[in-house]
Structure formats: C-alpha cells, structure tokens
A = this chain, B = another copy of it.
Amino acid sequence: MSKIFVDACLGKETPYTPVWMMRQAGRYLPEYMKVRGEAGDFLSLCHNPKMAAEVTIQPLDIVGVDAAILFSDILVIPDEMGMDLEFIKGFGPKFNDPLTCQADLDRLIGGEVAANKLTYVYDTIKLLRKQLDERGDEIALIGFTGAPWTLATYMIEGQGTKTYNLCKKLMYSNPELLHNILREVTEVVKYYMEKQIEAGIDVVQIFDSWAAAIEPGKYDEFSWKYMVEICDHLKAKYPDTPIIMFPKGIPAFLDNIYGNFDVFGVDWSTPMALAKEKLGDKYVLQGNMEPCRLYSKEATTACVESLAKTMKEGRHIFNLGHGILPDVPVENAIHFVAECKRASKR
C-alpha cells in the first residue's frame, strides 16, 4: 500500500501535501502526559516499547497527521555507548561523565555492539509496525537519530549549553579528538539506523539540532559530511527508504548543501522561498512554520496559505520549523493540520 507521506518524500504527486509536526508526540497532549506520568520519567518511557508505541500513535487520531514519528530521544545513543545519562527535572539531560580526552572516548562501546544494545527502540518499532499495519490507514512511520555533531555536543559539554565552549575548544585547538568522537558516533548511528529500518520504519530523519552552533565555514567539516556519510551508507543498502535531513538554523550554508538524501527539512529561520530557490530543484522541502504561530489560529492559517502558495509548483511536506511547544492548545495543532490539508488539496 502506498503511503502519501512516503510518496511525498520521494517527490511523487499526492492528493494533498502531507503534514506532521516535530515533537507531535509530546507535552502539549494531555494523553501523552498521562502515559508519561505512568512511566515514571522520560527515560523510562523511552525504554518501554508498549508505552513508547502508545504515545507515538496518539497524535495520529488526536491531531490527524500523516506520519508517526517513533517516540524516543537522540541521547539513548551515547547512553548505550556507555555514558552515564540522567534527565534532571527542570534542568534537562545530563551526562555525568563528559568526554574530555581520547582515553574517555576509548572507554566507550562502539559500532554494532552499541547499536545492538538499543533493543527497546527496535522493539518499539516492531510493535508500531504491527499496530500501524492493523489500522490499515496510510500512515508512515519515521525513525530518527541525532546528527553526530549534535550528539557530540552533549557528550562533550555533558549538558545543554549556550556557548558550546568545550566543543569549540576542541574544534579550534584539538580538531583530531573532535573528529575521532564524531567518527565513533557516526559508526554507531549507521548501525542504529540500519536496525531501525530492518525493524520497520518507512523514513529516516537525521536531526542536527545544534547545527547553528558551528560557523558556516566549518559546518561541512564538523557536521554535514558525517551526516552525508550516514546517508551514503544507508542508501547503498536501502535505496528505497527516504531520508530527511534537518540541520537547524543554517540559512547561510544553503549554497553548500549536497548529498544523497531525499528531503531537506527547513527550519523557521530560513524563509521557504529562499530554500526553494537554493534547493527546491534537488530535494523535497519540509517545513517550516514558526512553531509559536500555533498560539494563534489566524497566524497559523496565514502562514499555511503562504507556504502553500510558495510551494505550489514545488515538492513539499508541511511541518513546523522546530518542535511544537508544550503550552500550545491542542485545538490549534488540530487547526494547523486541517489547514495544511485544505490549503494544499489538489
């Protein structure tokens, strides 16, 4: 059965432009908060295939999106590489043993051995595959990973950061060590995404959430080329699985985008018309409504109509330009999804 979202990723004609939202399985949904409360904490929810599958499915019926995205977190990867991850309430993720030298890196578990430890992710996907097939609708399942650079920032800083100064010290003073870390993470991610595909996902998204932390002249060297390497690896084995790249906040790098992938995720700092001009011939474009427009139905409709007009002759998937915020009213998210389908109906 052909799925409208997969078709759109591959640039095929669809009856309307499909839509999903980053963080659509998340805190704005009371149904999600209930399951999360039952799970205990965030990591326990990631580790519980039955509950993770449940929250993955929730936005399909509540909000009406065309794709489900696996509920998980990018930091399960370094966690299973042997780093000590905690999610601290009101603070966010924290690694208690950040990487400071080659010996720290050498102690980690690498490659397929690390990827094999993420069984709860593959189990969640298998469960979702079964549940989605049973529904009989045309909903696609998106699997994902963090980009090596974004994962490395947490592994080096130990936590979220405004300045990335530990990463930058390596970038400018010890680039060899930073590349060693990035290479190691890249290898794990290759196996991880292969196994996600084998378990049943339809589409891969690679999130480079902290792309904007790198000066444009260094972005290829420290992030993009590793993301492209993952694409090459996956496309050699699974040429029919679409790949979405989402490097957040790099409008000044658009002229330098290259690689074997299908969809370029446009964040809200890049005007869609600019992305279309630079990349629209080569890639399907996904995005990019400023998530805060969801606070207002009028602002949402205005943006959806403008995007539909800009992308009328282009290949497009509707999404937000970043994740939905926890304090957005559910009815506004429903309104966004309905407006996307209405405004793009062919």
Contacts and interface: CB of A to CB of B under 8 A. Distances in A.
Interface in A135-170: 163-165, 168-169
A88 B327 CA distance: 27
Nearest to A214: B290
Main secondary structure of the interface of A (DSSP, over half): helix
A292 interface: yes
Interface string A244-283: 0000010110000000000000001111001000000000
Given A215-B290, A268-B215, A269-B216, A172 B296 contact: yes
Contacts of A298: 172
A251 B274 CA distance: 11
Nearest to A216: B271
Contacts of A251: 251-252
Contacts of A299: 172-173
A290 B172 CA distance: 10
A15 interface: no
14 contacts: A165-B325, A165-B327, A168-B290, A168-B292, A172-B296, A172-B298, A173-B295, A212-B269, A215-B269, A215-B321, A249-B269, A251-B251, A252-B269, A252-B270
Contact of A292 (B172, B212, B252, B295): B172
Contacts of A173: 295-296, 299
Interface string A284-319: 000000101101101100000000000000000000
B269 A168 contact: no
Interface in A225-251: 249, 251
Interface residues of A, number: 30
Q: Specify how many copies of this chain sit in the oligomer.
A: 2
A221 to B, nearest CB: 13
A70 B76 CA distance: 47
Contacts of A169: 292, 295
Contacts of A270: 216, 252
Nearest to A173: B296
B271 A217 contact: yes
Contacts of A321: 215
Contacts of A171: 292
Contacts of A172: 292-293, 295-296, 298-299
Contacts of A274: 252
A118 to B, nearest CB: 28
A321 B295 CA distance: 33
A292 B172 CA distance: 8
Interface in A180-217: 212, 215-217
A130 to B, nearest CB: 36
A327 B212 CA distance: 21
A138 to B, nearest CB: 32
Contacts of A164: 292
Most chain B Cβ neighbours within 10 Å, of A171, A217, A292: A292
A269 to B, nearest CB: 6
A217 B173 CA distance: 38
A129 to B, nearest CB: 34
Contacts of A292: 163-165, 168-169, 171-172
Nearest to A306: B217
